[in-house]
Amino acid sequence: MKLILKVVLAGAAGLFVSAGLASAQSDTLTTVKNRGMLNCGVGTGTPGFSNPDDKGNWTGLDVDFCRAVAAVIFNDAAKVSYKPLTAKERFTALQSGEVDVLSRTTTWTMSRDSAMGLSFVGIMYVDGQGLMVPKKLGIKSAKELNGASVCVATGTTTELNLADYFRTSGMTYKPVVFEKVDEVNAAYDAGRCDVYTTDQSSLYAQRLRLRNPDDHMVLPEIISKEPLGPAVRQGDFQWFTINKWVYFALLDAEELGVTSKNVDEMLKSTNPEVRRLLGVEGEFGKGIGVDNDWVVRIIKGVGNYGEIYERNVGPNTALKIARGLNNLWTKGGIQYAPPIR
């Protein structure tokens, strides 16, 4: 009888799993509209990308992408329910339908785009993996790290790049792998590791959270390319297209000079590109299943890509990261969006 009970319980658990998958099946846009909230998977605390402020509101580059999507659907950027996810939990949360979009400093890779059933929307932030060390070690280059202990978060591309880098450089190292960023931080701060590694942008962000940020330095080497972007589930093309074009619209708006301050005047613009972008001409919004003023909603809600960048990670923030590669293609960067026409 005990065995039968166990079998029934296991069965019930299995049903829950399949029910979760089944709910992911129906059209995501309708589900989100009916729910009245966008479920957005974010990080557990990375300043500049996804971090709750002192009033408990989520802020950051990744958070603003979700706010932009919510603005398109509900004309209200605040209608987002944030789910903080660790690196380990994030893909299962998206696959099982717990979140509608995963916007959490996640690296776009081929295996994630194929075997994991995800579709990456675009590259919100061009990044690369960096290494941070305490200044008192007196190390100037990553080539001097032979035999080091390295703190890293589990389930990340970082963990794999690290192995590749030390292998190709013919050096050895000891990984110390934590599940949560906070624990990586605490262990590194306690001196458990010689090196802290993650994407370089996050490295600057996490350095601010150490006891004495000035005692630590980020080494000049970038050991990988980390295109970070939002991802959605495969199998819902409409939802994928909406998210993809929200990202493109953020870039196109910046390129055409449409900002949250001048958007109302821009509505009267005679430039056909601006008129198409803002839905004055053509029916581009309808084509992806949303209202025609979708870009106006985004810009009023969160601003264009440049505004989002400056507000969260730019030179005037605590992170002080220059635009660099994340500048528009017209300004020496590689951020580039197809035209709306």
Interface residue list for another protein (CB under 8 A): 4, 7-8, 11, 14-15, 17-18, 21-22, 24-25, 87-88, 91-92, 95, 111-112, 114-117, 137, 146-149, 154-156, 159-160, 162-164, 166-167, 173-180, 183, 186-187, 190-192, 194, 233-235
Instruction: Please identify which residue in the block is written with the tokens 């972008």.
Output: 277
Residue 25 CB, nearest distance to another protein (Å)?
7
Residue 6 CB, nearest distance to another protein (Å)?
9
Cβ-based nearer residue to another protein, 164 or 291: 164
Cβ-based nearer residue to another protein, 167 or 341: 167
Residue 98 CB, nearest distance to another protein (Å)?
12
User: Nearest 5°: phi and psi at 154?
Assistant: -75, 155
Residue 324 CB, nearest distance to another protein (Å)?
29
* Residue spans of beta strands (DSSP E) within 128-272: 129-134, 148-153, 173-178, 195-199, 216-218, 226-228, 231-233
Residue 142 CB, nearest distance to another protein (Å)?
14
Residue 196 CB, nearest distance to another protein (Å)?
13
Q: Strands 148-153 and 173-178, how do they pair?
A: parallel
Query: Which is nearest to 150 in space by CA: 198, 87, 202?
Result: 198
324-329: long-range contacts, CB 8 A cutoff, minimum separation 24: 324/126, 325/126, 326/125, 326/126, 328/251, 328/254, 328/255
Query: Which is nearest to 314 in space by CA: 56, 61, 64?
Result: 61
Cβ-based nearer residue to another protein, 231 or 266: 231
What gap in Å lies between CA 68 and CA 66, rounded to an integer? 5
Residues forming beta bridges with residue 199, ordered by sequence position: 129
Residue 192 CB, nearest distance to another protein (Å)?
5
Cβ-based nearer residue to another protein, 120 or 166: 166
Dig out the tokens for 125 from the structure.
């932030």
Cβ-based nearer residue to another protein, 37 or 177: 177
Residue 218 CB, nearest distance to another protein (Å)?
18
Give the DSSP H/E element, type plus range, for residue 125: strand 125-127
Dig out the tokens for 44 from the structure.
């557990």
Which CA distances in Å does 198 have to 174, 298, 325? Answer: 16, 31, 18
CA dihedral 277, 32, 336, 269 (to 10 degrees): 10
Cβ-based nearer residue to another protein, 114 or 262: 114
Cβ-based nearer residue to another protein, 143 or 320: 143
Cβ-based nearer residue to another protein, 116 or 222: 116
Cβ-based nearer residue to another protein, 168 or 270: 168
Residue 210 CB, nearest distance to another protein (Å)?
15
CA 163 to chain centre: 23
Q: Are 290 and 242 in contact (CB under 8 A)?
A: yes
